[in-house]
Structure 1
Amino acid sequence: MEYERASSKWKEMDDRGFCQAAKIAAGFPRMSYKLTLMAYEENVWNLMFDYWQREDIDRLFFEIWKFATKKMGATDKKVDFRAGLVDVPKEYIPSI
């Protein structure tokens, strides 16, 4: 997802991905070329949409993970996700 769709690197990966999809589709007798292409394109768009929608959430999860592992290292106690989720905002926004 870090490449522009018009870049040569994207086209190379896209071609490789479609070839793999076509090989898989060849094993199904009623799977046409057009249906394979449509399914592949839909899958690519779904992946791109999920990436764009969750890009910021990944950063949040990474901060929770960093905070929890730092806390675990200091106390040698297991810190669960919920505790990290509560403590991360307190670390960054002291008034909470």
Structure 2
Amino acid sequence: MEDYVGICRSSVKWGKISSRGAFQAIKIAATSFPKITPTLAYNGFDEYKERICYYHTWFKEYDRLYFEIWRRVTKGTSFRKAMEDVCKMNKFPVRQGLMQTALDHEYTMTLMEEDFHTCTAAIRPGVKEDKAKELIAGGVKKLVNMPKSYEDYIRKKIEIACIIGILPSEKTEATV
């Protein structure tokens, strides 16, 4: 689904892909999670789809933002100055408010700089920009730790239900 979230939600293509995904989710639930009803599977898929769309936007914005900052930092610019330069570009409208908040408040700046360093940690000196973009995108995804598939998503939901006591652990292990 992640490959298709950029498609216009009102398009016929999105409708077909979304419907196919829903049917696959119901099939996964029926074969791997027999205690999950088709309605629950569909609702879970719908929630998963919305989450993917949200995180898709989040990833794209942050990976490009951190890449622009990285380009400046590798040339010797401080993180704060790089953030100021990128903020002035007004290239990331979804993150514009956050960047301005970071520039005005040291705590937010520190959090963003920590996330930046986490997302760029895998980049070695001399790496080409295309590879750096890829590594930053991977770093952002790891930072968020989003389930990769509907089945992963359901397993995570079941694990949470066990932890908070909605489902007993032994039943969960038997159904998973």
State the TM bucket, normalised to the shorter chain. Answer: 0.5 to 0.7
Q: Which moved more, 1:15-24 or 1:49-58?
A: 49-58
Q: Is residue 37 from structure 1 mapped to residue 42 from structure 2 by the alignment?
A: yes
Distance change in 2, residues 1:40/1:90 (3 Å): closer
Equivalent residue runs for 1:14-93 within 5 Å: 14-27=18-31, 28-53=33-58, 55-67=60-72, 71=75, 85-86=79-80, 88-89=82-83, 92=86
| Contact 2:69–2:83 under 8 Å retained in 1 | no
- Deviation of 1:54 (Å): 5.0
| Contact 2:8–2:14 under 8 Å retained in 1 | yes
What are the ranges of 5 or more consecutive residues in structure 1 without an aligned counterpart?
A: 72-78
Q: Which moved more, 1:33-42 or 1:2-11?
A: 2-11
| Contact 1:64–1:88 under 8 Å retained in 2 | yes
What are the ranges of 5 or more consecutive residues in structure 2 without an aligned counterpart?
A: 89-102, 104-176
Q: Which has the larger radius of gyration?
A: 1
- Deviation of 1:61 (Å): 1.6
CA distance in 1, matches of 2:27, 2:72: 44
Which letter does structure 1 place at the counterpart of 2:67? F
Q: Identity over the aligned pairs, expressed in percent?
A: 29
What secondary structure sits across from 2:10 in the alignment?
A: coil
| CA RMSD across the alignment | 3.1
RCO higher in 1 or 2 (8 Å CA, sep ≥ 6)?
A: 2
Distance change in 2, residues 1:24/1:65 (3 Å): farther
| Contact 1:65–1:84 under 8 Å retained in 2 | no
Q: Is residue 3 from structure 1 mapped to residue 7 from structure 2 by the alignment?
A: yes
